[in-house]
Amino acid sequence: MRSSEDIVLVRQLVRAHAIQLGFSLVDQTKIVTAASELARNTVDYGGGGMVRVQRLSQGQRVGLRLTFEDKGPGIEDVALVLKDGYTTGGGLGLGLGGAKRLSNEFEIVSRPGEGTRVSIARWR
């Protein structure tokens, strides 16, 4: 992912997978919205990066795991950036915290000077 056009492609890809897995419209919207926020952060703050989409299966449950990774400057204080209202880009400061709330699972690993990896999962 390097541009706004790539973010649109990520949204389309995630929606297609969610539909194929039988996600409800509400759950489709949640995972696509979270994906959009994380893709935007990857492009805007991480200087671009990659996304990996994995289908999950656990007994009768199915889900999607999305992993966004960049080699950007990293995040100095992860707890701070997860707080609603915190922003370095002039937005509303809801991106990472919002993505976390829209997901069933959320993990972020960031090292200053090395980059950031955010992984989310949504189960049907």
pLDDT at residue 1 above 60?
yes
Domain count, the chain: 1
CATH number of the CATH domain containing 74: 3.30.565.10
The residue segments making up the domain with residue 91 are 4-123
pTM recorded for the entire structure: 0.93
Mean per-residue pLDDT for 72-97?
78
List C-alpha distances in Å: 54 to 18, 32, 66, 78: 11, 14, 6, 25
Tens-digit pLDDT profile for residues 11-67 = 999 999 999 999 999 999 999 999 999 999 999 999 999 999 999 999 999 999 999
Report which secondary-structure segment, H or E, holds 26.
Answer: helix 25-44
